[in-house]
Amino acid sequence: MKSAGQLIFLATVGLVVLLLLLGSLYRLDETEQGIITQFGKPVGNAVTNAGLHFKLPFIQEVHRLEKRVLRWDGRPTEMPTKDKTYILVDAFGRWRIRDAQPYFLRLRDERSAQSRLDDILGSEIRNAIAKHELIELVRTTKDREAMVDDILQGGRESNAGQLYPIRKGRALVEQEIFASAAPKVAVFGIELLDIRFKRINYNPSVALRIYERMISERQQIAERFRSEGAGEAAKILGQKQKDLQAIESEAYRKIQEIRGAADARATEIYARAYNQSEAAAGFYAFLKTLETYRTALSNDTTLILTTDSDLFRLLKTLDAPAAR
């Protein structure tokens, strides 16, 4: 009986020692760091080394925290820019727990940390958006030259196609947000690694006005093209008429020159042919008179001539043989 009691006692002691040993040992992975609390209060510094570690059993508790880089993904939020344009801004960031003790004391877990990041980063993003024009947020850098439509700018007083000067660009605005937010989250033991804009969209009502403005600007370009085309067409037609008149004038001059030269040559030939004798001259006069009759007389022509008219002379001699 005595040996059996000793065995039970030894088994009990062994079980207690085993429980104490299991309660005092804990293991951390490479991706974890631990905070030891005693009755709910942190004790000592954070344990950052991976492996097997010891703690007081039962009265101390291990709280495991991430050592890896964590993601913050903000909700798309509507914000006004400096030029009073409402846009939907979707941003994201990267952070990690740098000092586990203040992080645990003030936030306790990742859910609380994400909520606090939403407040701080969201506020800084809204402040930055409100201080800059929209073009500063959609252009990457200030060194990139903006493309301006010369057709909209040329000789017009309207602001169509006009762009605000870019002084910073999106990258510098993101750096401003980072520089302003990093000290505010550092008091919670959080190291902010980066913050970026994921997406910037127009508010639906603003987008409709933007599309209407784009349509209006394209219509202005089309109207200018049409007016310039009409001007060029009128210029071409005017030049065509001018060239046509010049060609016709030159052709008419050449025709008259050729016709004058031909008439002169014909007259010279006739003169040589019919001036060789008196009979030839009379025959020429006879032919010319017949040509005149053919041109001037028809079935319903009425002439009033004097008896000594040269035109009447030939008609007067037609009845001479009958009188004899």
pLDDT on residue 148: 60
Kindly report, residue by residue over 60-89, the tens digit of the pLDDT: 888 889 999 999 998 998 988 888 888 899
Share of the chain above pLDDT 70, in %: 82
At residue 17, what is the residue type? V
Residue 256's pLDDT band, with cuts at 50, 70 and 90, is: very high
Task: Report pTM.
Answer: 0.58
In angstroms, rounded to a whole number, what is the distance separating the alpha carbons of residues 202 and 272?
99
User: CB burial class (10 A; 0-12, 13-18, 19+) of residue 190?
Assistant: buried
At residue 165, what is the residue type? P
pLDDT on residue 160: 47
pLDDT on residue 157: 45
Task: Taking residues 21-47, report their average pLDDT.
Answer: 82
Least confident of 63-77, 108-122, 143-157: 143-157
Domains and CATH numbers, the chain: 17-63 (no CATH), 70-202 (3.30.479.30), 286-319 (no CATH)
Least confident of 38-52, 208-222, 307-321: 307-321
pLDDT on residue 152: 56
Task: Taking residues 20-42, report their average pLDDT.
Answer: 81
pLDDT on residue 195: 95
- Cα diameter, the chain: 201
* Res 103 pLDDT > 60: yes
pLDDT on residue 156: 47
